[in-house]
Amino acid sequence: MEKKELLRGLPKIDEVMRQESLVVLSEEKGDLLVTEAVRAVIADLRQSILDLKEKEADRFDASALEISAVAEAAIARLAEDEELKLFPLINATGTILHTNLGRAPLCDDAVTNVSRVSIGYSDLEYNVPKGKRGSRHDIVGDLIAELTGAEDAMVVNNNAAATMIVLATLGAGKEIIVSRGELVEIGGAFRIPDIMMQSGAYLTEVGTSNKTKASDYENAIMTEEDIEEGDWYDKDPRHGERFETGALMKVHKSNYDIVGFTEEASLEELVEIGKKHDLPVIFDMGNGLMLDMSEYGLREPNVPASLATGIDVMLFSGDKLLGGPQAGIIVGKKKYIKAMKKHPLARAMRVDKMTFAALEATLMKYRDPKLALRDIPVLRMISTSPDDLRQKAEELATAITRVAPDLKLEIVPVEDQIGGGSAPMVRLPGWAVSVKDGMKSADRTERKLRKADVPVIARINEDRLLLCVRTIADNELDTVARAFI
Ligand SMILES: *Cc1c(COP(=O)(O)O)cnc(C)c1O
């Protein structure tokens, strides 16, 4: 066939649009996008014909020009265009709060509640019994107070935002005292000294990298009198400007540990100093653990116990060990929380109805710790027993063998992690299925799993591909197996 003939064989858009499959699709998606897909397919075909050398024209597969073939190509093109950039995948790494994989998965009730509340209107800022304007801050305030013993609470976009608004409210133009052992970088650009500067507060570092005593905080407190008298001036060789102290701050060593010859001030000691000098004490605790989970190897502070020491303001994430949506939760004394709610940054950091819906449903579970451990995925994954994990690994191996009998599988013990910059020293004893695909390298198999319809993210250890079952939900086992087809 000659090129000219091929070009004449290109179907018209209208002809293709009359195909039954496209008529149906147009009804569902509207004809604008469908027509556009057909036009694009025909344009591509025309271009590829024009690009042919005259003697190649014979070899061109003319069946691609048939109306039904063009319709099919248009449907495929449309499906490709509609692929969403944010999609679910399976975490087989055994790292529970995987930051790159979206941190905490939500519990079922949280997801249901998001859809219940956001599909229509809600009382986000409306007091229904009174028939007048309400405040979104009231939504979870009482529940958080009930669960933690806090006087009041406020929810912002994440814990980084919480740190910012706490420092801006209590520390702008004042000094905030922090231990040199706790000047944390959480990740990316989030470093305590930098956030401090952004908030308008002045960082006063005390102690050393390994040892900070309670007296170090107390000795660093500046009062208006100290500044007027200027005693500090001769002690500081640089004669830097000093400001009144606004607060004492403790930051949880979330993602690192200092071991050996060490000392740090306890919350109790800081609370005592704060009381004596009439200064608020802030605790950035980070992970938001609500229950004592030391029986599962997790020796971390928890929210109610930390608050019980008398801390004035405490902040933590919603999507770390609390197991809810991304949020920063600030709890503490009413007068401080009230000031934060009024701060101009509050509006810039406020969360929407979907976050409140997910958070409220998640927090409800904590009314009964047994329910929280059973229903909140993060807590369930931490508390699953090694025996149950081993059994799950065996189930996964059986499912894989069913679809891919030639793979060499082994059930092996592994050490899982909390992740998400939390409890870095904790190793949770777990189980995995180790997979060997003939002579193929583990890297190659890993790439293949990432290309599956539902991508599976596996762990590689010493050229072994590991599917760690702790982070794989029961109803995902078959999907993981199908990724090998
Ligand atoms: C994780 C963490 C943060 C930051 O929290 P995001 O919710 O990620 O913004 C701040 N401080 C501490 C101590 C943390 O552990």
Architecture of domain 108-375: 3-Layer(aba) Sandwich (3.40)
Average pLDDT (393-404) is 97
Residue scoring higher pLDDT (485 or 390)? 390
Q: State the Cα–Cα distance between residues 72 and 77, nearest whole angstrom.
A: 9
What is the DSSP annotation of 136-181? TTHHHHHHHHHHH--SEEEEES-HHHHHHHHHHHHHTTSEEEEEGG
pLDDT of residue 271: 98
| CATH of the structural domain 90-96+380-482, one choice from 3.90.550.10, 3.90.1150.180, 1.20.120.1200, 3.30.1330.20 | 3.90.1150.180
pLDDT of residue 177: 98
Surface-to-core class of residue 481, CB atoms within 10 Å of its CB (0-12 exposed, 13-18 middle, 19+ buried): buried
Q: Is the CB of 284 under 6 A from ligand 1?
A: yes
Reduced to 3 states, what is the DSSP secondary structure of residue 113? helix
- Ligand 1 atom nearest the C-alpha of 326 is 7
Please list, in sequence order, all residues whose beta carbon lies within 8 angstroms of the beta carbon of residue 192, skipping any fewer than 6 positions away.
Answer: 163, 178, 182, 183, 184, 185, 203, 251, 284
Please list, in sequence order, all residues whose beta carbon lies within 8 angstroms of the beta carbon of residue 385, skipping any fewer than 6 positions away.
Answer: none
The Å distance, Cα 370 to ligand 1 centre, comes to 26
Q: Residues 356, 139: contact at Cβ < 8 Å?
A: yes
pLDDT at 391 over 80: yes
**What is the average pLDDT score of the chain?**
95
Confidence category of residue 292, pLDDT binned at 50, 70, 90: very high
The Å distance, Cα 186 to ligand 1 centre, comes to 6
> To test the ligand 1 pocket, which listed residue (284, 326, 351, 422) has its Cβ within 8 A of the most ligand atoms?
284
How do residues 148-181 score in pLDDT, each as one tens digit? 999 999 999 999 999 999 999 999 999 999 999 9
The Å distance, Cα 289 to ligand 1 centre, comes to 13
Average pLDDT (218-244) is 86
How do residues 317-366 score in pLDDT, each as one tens digit? 999 999 999 999 999 999 999 999 999 999 999 999 999 999 999 999 99
User: How many C-beta atoms surround the C-beta of residue 146 within 10 A?
Assistant: 12
pLDDT of residue 404: 95
The Å distance, Cα 286 to ligand 1 centre, comes to 5
Q: Is the CB of 459 under 6 A from ligand 1?
A: no
> To test the ligand 1 pocket, which listed residue (158, 159, 198) has its Cβ within 8 A of the most ligand atoms?
159
pLDDT at 57 over 90: no
How do residues 235-252 score in pLDDT, each as one tens digit? 777 888 899 999 999 999
Q: State the Cα–Cα distance between residues 446 and 87, nearest whole angstrom.
A: 19
pLDDT of residue 245: 97
Domain pair 90-96+380-482 / 108-375, same fold: no
Kindly compute the dihedral angle of the four CA atoms of residues 236, 238, 241, 245, in this order, to the nearest 10 degrees. Answer: -40
Which residue's C-alpha comes closest to atom 14 of ligand 1?
286
Could you state, in order of their start, the residue ranges of all structural domains in the chain? 3-81, 90-96+380-482, 108-375
